[in-house]
Homo-oligomer: A and B are copies of this chain.
Amino acid sequence: VPHTLVVRYPARPRASRIVVARGALAGLGRFVRTLTSATTVALVSDARVLALHGTAARRALARAGVRAVPLIVPRGERAKQPRVLARLWDRMAAARLARADAVVALGGGAIGDVAGFAAATWLRGVPWIGVPTTVLAQVDSSVGGKTGIDLAAGKNLVGAFHQPLGVLADPDTLATLPGRQRRAGLAEVVKAGMIADAALFRSLERDAGALARGDAGALERAIVRAIRAKTRIVQRDERERDGGPRTALNFGHTLGHALEAAHGYRRLLHGEAVAIGMRIAARLSVREAGLPGRELERLEGLLDRLALPRRMPPTSLARLAQAMAHDKKRAGRAVRWVLTPRVGHASVPRLISSRVVRSALLDAGARP
């Protein structure tokens, strides 16, 4: 006689508290104390960010009586390696980080990814607090709970959905950011407007000059609005189900990821690759999704004013196709493109004939 039991586990609702405010970094200690009962935090950062903001962060934590153990990881994507993760685990053990303690990720998107994943897996999950210090991390990677690391076989193949308990985004930390990196981060803000918030898009058009200059007030307004837009999407589709609302966030990313991969993640910043990817996705949208030509021009004009690249660096069509196919095989499906029928909206990802894609890529500077 077979015995069958169905064990149902009660749902655990979760929430993230996101604070955007100039000067907020000075309140990090109180923020951690309000959200957690941590007495120790693992302060994951890289040497450069720690030199810029480490003292402020540690003082703020000390004032609230929280012990900070700094764990330094390599800069950029090199932080997201299995061996860096394993070293973080060993150092969390050495720091005796307990279940009630927390991880604080101080830095850009890569730091949030690896620190959030370390938090997801240490003692089977401890809370984490994001303190993003780049535009990209403030508007994008710190919302939605995607954490993870890369393998030799591809980026972000390993990870967890682990929502930060809190995110403290201080636009003042962006003042030390190189202009190129700040502008690249704005590509994700443009994307949020393009796929989900026409009013945000219009405000970016109004503020483009101030944003390109790095005006703190304009940045703060844009960041808050972009976070709200992304938040509305990920709340409806936390796990990015096939064809779900969250897939819209891949607008510009089908080609963007392929461009980054084709150039070994060195030549183009993520936001720059996404800007090129959005331009091409918008051109395909005119042809395949009814995007009016004047809206394509609005997108191109906005990206131009933010000094985001118009054409791709020399890249062979074959290399791009290979990179897109690699992505495809990972998902076990053909390449699908997120298109937009008009500013503020996205359509469900769809197949586009390779002839049409090829011609759009050639137009954008790919080499035959």
Residues of A within 8 A of B (CB): 1-21, 24, 39, 82, 86, 89-90, 93-94, 96, 98-101, 117, 120-125, 143, 145-148, 151-154, 156-161, 163, 224, 227-228, 231, 234-235, 238-239, 242, 329-332
Instruction: List 13 additional contacts besides A12-B238, A90-B152; criterion CB under 8 Å.
Output: A2-B20, A3-B21, A4-B18, A5-B228, A5-B231, A7-B231, A8-B15, A9-B16, A39-B332, A86-B86, A93-B151, A122-B158, A123-B330
Nearest-neighbour CB distance to chain B for A332, whole angstroms, equals: 4
Nearest-neighbour CB distance to chain B for A25, whole angstroms, equals: 12
* Bound-complex Cα distance A122 to B163 (A): 17
Q: Are B332 and A96 interface neighbours, CB within 8 A?
A: yes
Task: Decide yes or no: A157 and B3 within 8 Å by CB, A10-B238, A235-B8 being known contacts.
Answer: no
Name the contact of A235 in the complex, choosing from B7, B96, B121, B145 (C-beta under 8 A): B7
Q: Are A161 and B3 interface neighbours, CB within 8 A?
A: no
Name the contact of A330 in the complex, choosing from B7, B89, B98, B331 (C-beta under 8 A): B98
Q: How many copies does the complex hold?
A: 2
Chain B residue at minimum C-beta to C-beta distance from A21: B2
14 contacts between A and B (CB under 8 A): A3-B20, A3-B21, A4-B18, A5-B227, A7-B15, A7-B17, A8-B15, A10-B238, A11-B13, A89-B158, A99-B242, A121-B160, A124-B156, A125-B161
Q: Are A17 and B6 interface neighbours, CB within 8 A?
A: yes
* Bound-complex Cα distance A152 to B332 (A): 37
* Bound-complex Cα distance A330 to B98 (A): 6
Q: Are B157 and A89 interface neighbours, CB within 8 A?
A: yes
Nearest-neighbour CB distance to chain B for A27, whole angstroms, equals: 9
Nearest-neighbour CB distance to chain B for A162, whole angstroms, equals: 9
* Bound-complex Cα distance A89 to B83 (A): 13
Instruction: Among A9, A10, A12, A117, find the residue whose CB has the most chain B CB atoms closer than 10 A.
Output: A9
Task: Decide yes or no: A93 and B154 within 8 Å by CB, A14-B9, A98-B331, A120-B160 being known contacts.
Answer: yes
Nearest-neighbour CB distance to chain B for A88, whole angstroms, equals: 10
Q: Are B13 and A9 interface neighbours, CB within 8 A?
A: yes
Q: Are A235 and B9 interface neighbours, CB within 8 A?
A: yes
Q: Which residues of B contact A160 (CB under 8 A)?
A: 120-121, 124-125, 160
Q: Are A8 and B13 interface neighbours, CB within 8 A?
A: yes
Q: Which residues of B contact A98 (CB under 8 A)?
A: 330-332
* Bound-complex Cα distance A99 to B331 (A): 7
Nearest-neighbour CB distance to chain B for A359, whole angstroms, equals: 29
Q: Are B124 and A121 interface neighbours, CB within 8 A?
A: no
Nearest-neighbour CB distance to chain B for A221, whole angstroms, equals: 9
Nearest-neighbour CB distance to chain B for A218, whole angstroms, equals: 14
Q: Which residues of B contact A332 (CB under 8 A)?
A: 39, 96, 98-101
Q: Which residues of B contact A117 (CB under 8 A)?
A: 121
